[in-house]
Structure 1
């Protein structure tokens, strides 16, 4: 199989979760969680055995596999297994090994609940485990006289599910002339538990954010080792979608990520509000109480399976927190103050972010949303503000109640937040915004829903990774998008041959199969005056 997903098993293009699924779960019951140079380098293209390319990293040799157009090195440890006393500790360096490590098999995905869906298991291959801090490198097989830019992908999944191996970066690497790195990071309670006992262990008095620290450890590994694979450690683009896109923006404002990347791409996930350290520690203490644990020693003695089960408590929210150190400020506040890494940023959303959540909550659960149920759902979500929301989204202006609710979720939770972050960044650095608008992006799945899915959350991923086999217009759009993304990794400017020029914010590049256009009415189209007022901006 070619495209963005594992060659070992066919995957769908939508595999990450939007950030607020947990917040909505109690209201929209049943919503689906989808969502320095290297040493001793032997560049992949110069390997002695083409079928078993070998590279020497700082920690030992890895032997990968040769594909049709790219070499792949899977399951490379970038940190020590966070088990035993290392559970809920910042990542430690991996151990060195002797001989050539087999890098043809993925490492385990991180601990997570079963995410089986009609589209496959979102964890990807392998058995979920605490021993999961592995990454994968995909490098073009064709020789290059110069080091290639590097693109490091952070997967989505609501900070609770997913894996790096679920995405095959081979085609993106080969067609974009880049090195692609995908990675795992700790998820759920294992990655984001904040607790006073953990803060007491920390020299800085903080807890939580272990998953974010894992990602930064992977970026440091890239800086130290990627030259061995033909990559340029001085030209690193970090990119991700949903929770991965949110992580990208969190690294933009994290002092600890300084110098680890040089460009950033945030897809459907920048600017979400995060809990404070204090509130998250309070939540963590309450969660520990449900396990009968009054201290961290008790929690560390619990088997991973028991922690995973307890982590499914609907009252728990496993996300990064603003701790004053790893994350000093909320994303919009940091951007407004200019306290972020001044690298070029490309970011955007899909035109119909919220529709798949509506589909999985209603149609796929056997109870399509009705006209009578529409205001009930809106009132449950927005309380005293519901009348103002319903007045701006009258049912008569939409084909179905599901499309109306999908528009509300799209605008309130994605479009306007990302428009705001693009605007704030534009005052300090090159800022580019897009809207992915292939209204038939997921038609090929033939899902049994009563309304058009349009361009929902995650539907742009396979266009970026080179996994589209659709109409000629869709294939052309995918080629242009892959070109835009990889040109940005090469130059910091999203230029693509045979594609329209992409201007900086406030113009928004609308990516549609019919024609790519520049829009200046994005905030009006998504009723951002309503949602910005609610956000106090």
Structure 2
């Protein structure tokens, strides 16, 4: 359901940067692997499809990424690289994979640089896309406007997805010097961050000031890098949007599941799996029992995120994180209204009992239908609080004991009204609806445009200084205050855990806050 919601939430972002008349000055840049030439734009220069690792094909399938090959001459990087292997994610706004044909040869990144020359190196913002770890691409997100308006260098990237990025298997663990498997997508992201440290100065970026940011699965990835030893020294600030603190499966359980999945393909060893065509693996990976996500392997991800944060075993960089006010409503919309079966008053308790079993009575008592305009809004509130708001609040609280921790709630109730989706209830501010505000893609009411300007300012100034600040916007205080980002007014809340009933979802959390 979450993946379906994300497909819808990506509306309005665009894909490939719009073509612009080239300037007279050259866009050739020299990286440590060779020269590249991008496209000069009026607002930003775009370098698309730069390889940051060798293609993970053949014997490199399910291996940690290795350095890309060097090249001679000038490499044309005016068109995106292939998106990673994934199923079709067509929406009214385009395919979330972006342009190109999904392929295993997909470890490419894009660099967007403000067109105006600068006398100083700019902060760097590295975007990790969402998509439930199974769909999406870096190219879908046009970083040019964010680069121009925020005076930052923006990097977006692809990473291995689904079974190609997260298969854990005893045979793969046996090949590993660390005895672990899975988490290849996370290792790809770390390889991209390493490439940024090594090469971004050539694009006018400051390699000593890198912010990693992402949404949904990308936000979860950001928090996994915060606790990963392999990410040491690769970034200086972190922004996690709607994706921090959710529990991960263990290495043991994922290896059991991986071995079972391999067996369904008639494979008992890794050689057999590597001999399978990518298309066959992709088709087999679309399995409701498969869970293609990172795992706690003791090395790449040494501990559950909450445990690592509570013990202070994470990289002590400033962190900005938060959720949208109505995270769960888009999941409800895609599951019910957009599937042709709106949730009814009679169906509401049935749905809650099916999802929560013995806990249903206590949950229904805290989320009575009488407290909401529609059954869909009631169920959406349950999803919002249980799957997003309270987990993120816990993460912000745990980090606050060790570093600067900032939390927000994006609360534009009309954030997706421009889509005019055929649903029977207001979508409010659902999962992913803040992305276009961050990337500078809003063209709405004057109040929405002002909010978007301030959000872009908060994000980019945080990237520059480690403190969120926007011209004309209220001061953003550290946790436990939560910055509520709404078009009518930006305010600071001190009751976020109570508002989201976090004592129900995280026993004891409200008392500790």
TM-score range, shorter chain: over 0.9
Among candidates 92, 101, 106, match of residue 75 of structure 2: 101
8 Å CA contact 2:7–2:96 kept in 1: the answer is no
Once residues 159 and 61 of structure 1 are traced to their aligned partners in structure 2, the CA distance between those partners, rounded to angstroms, is 32
Quote the residue 2:368 is aligned against.
394
Question: Aligned partners of 1:436 and 1:251: how far apart in 2?
Answer: 24
* Cα distance in 1 between the residues matched to 2:255 and 2:75: 40
CA pair 506-327 structure 1, distance change in 2 beyond 3 A: same
Choose from 370, 385, 394 the match for 2:359: 385
Give the alignment partner of residue 82 of structure 1, picking from 47, 56, 59: 56
Superposition map of 1:203-214 within 5 A: 203-214=177-188
Q: In the alignment, is residue 481 of structure 1 matched against residue 458 of structure 2?
A: no
1:181-260 counterparts in 2 under 5 A? 181-260=155-234
Contact 1:32/1:360 (CA < 8 Å) preserved in 2? no
CA distance in 1, matches of 2:225, 2:135: 20
**2:396 corresponding residue in structure 1:** 422
Which of 248, 256, 267 aligns to 1:274? It is: 248
Cα distance change, pair 33–313 in 1 and its aligned pair in 2 (3 A): farther
Choose which of 379, 383, 404 in structure 2 pairs with 1:405.
379
1:143 positional shift: 1.0
Match of 2:15 in 1: none
Aligned position for 1:54:
28
SS of the aligned residue for 1:386 comes to helix
Gaps of 5+ in 1: 1-16, 22-29, 36-47
Aligned residue number for residue 11 of structure 1: none
Match in the other structure for 2:143: 169
**Counterpart among 350, 358, 361 of residue 332 in structure 2:** 358
Give the conservation status (yes or no) of the 8 Å contact 1:34–1:157: no
Query: Residue 367 of structure 1 corresponds to which residue in structure 2?
Result: 341
Distance 1:435 1:136, change over 3 A: same
Alpha-carbon distance change, 228 to 257 in structure 1, aligned in 2, over 3 angstroms: same
Matched, 1:454 2:412: no
CA deviation profile, 1:35-87 (whole Å, cap 9, x unmatched): 6xxxxxxxxxxxx9746511000000110001121100000000000000000
- Structure 2: distance between partners of 1:433 and 1:289: 44
Kindly state the Cα deviation for residue 118 of structure 1 after the two structures are TM-superposed: 2.6
Aligned to 1:345: 319
The residue aligned with 1:261 is 235
Any idea what SS the aligned residue of 1:327 has? coil
Provide the residue aligned with 1:441 in structure 2. Answer: 415
CA pair 141-31 structure 1, distance change in 2 beyond 3 A: closer
Q: Assess, with a 3 A threshold, how the Cα gap between structure 1 residues 58 and 509 changes in structure 2: closer, same or farther.
A: same
Q: 1:124-159: CA deviations, max 9, x gaps?
A: 111000000000000011111110000000000000
Per-residue deviation, residues 303-335 of structure 1 (Å, max 9, x unmatched): 000000000011000000000000000000000
Q: Which residue of 2 aligns with 1:45?
A: none
* Map of 2:270 onto structure 1: 296
Question: Corresponding residue for 2:105?
Answer: 131
Query: What's the CA shift string for 1:231-255, capped at 9, x where partnerless?
Result: 0000000000000000000000000
Distance 1:534 1:413 in 2: 17
CA distance in 2 between counterparts of 1:67 and 1:516 reads 34
- Number of residue pairs aligned between Structure 1 and Structure 2: 499
Q: Which residue of 1 aligns with 2:287?
A: 313
Deviation, structure 1 residue 34: 5.6
Q: Is the alpha carbon distance of 1:91 and 1:535 closer, same or farther for their aligned partners in structure 2, counting shifts above 3 Å?
A: farther
Counterpart pick for 2:477 among 480, 499, 503: 503
Taking a change above 3 Å as real, the CA distance of residues 143 and 315 of structure 1, as seen in their structure-2 partners, is: same
TM-score where L is the length of structure 1 = 0.91
Secondary structure at 1:72 match in 2: strand
| CA distance in 1 between partners of 2:294 and 2:353 (Å) | 28
CA contact (8 A) 2:318 2:466 kept: yes
- Equivalent residue of 1:66, what SS? coil
Q: Distance in 1 between matches of 2:502 and 2:95?
A: 35
Whether contact under 8 Å (1:85, 1:300) holds in the other structure is yes
CA distance in 2, matches of 1:359, 1:228: 45
Q: CA RMSD in A?
A: 1.5
Residues 33 and 158 in structure 1, CA contact (< 8 A), matched pair in contact too: no
Name the counterpart of 1:40: none
1:471 aligns with 2:445: yes
1:270/1:417 contact within 8 Å kept:
yes
- Cα offset, 1:533, TM superposition: 2.0
Distance apart, 1:204 and its partner CA: 0.6
CA distance in 1 between partners of 2:6 and 2:450 (Å)? 31
- For 1:14, the equivalent position in structure 2 comes to none
Change (3 A) 1:198 1:368: same
Q: How many angstroms does 1:535 deviate by?
A: 9.3
For residues 346 and 125 of structure 1, what CA distance do their matches in structure 2 show? Answer: 31
User: Which residue is equivalent to 2:507?
Assistant: 533
Could you tell me the TM-score, scaled by structure 2's length?
Answer: 0.95
Q: Using the alignment, how far apart are the partners of 1:340 and 1:203 within structure 2?
A: 23
Which residue of the other structure, out of 69, 78, 85, is the alignment partner of 1:111?
Answer: 85
Q: How far apart, CA to CA, are the structure 2 residues paired with 1:384 and 1:124?
A: 43
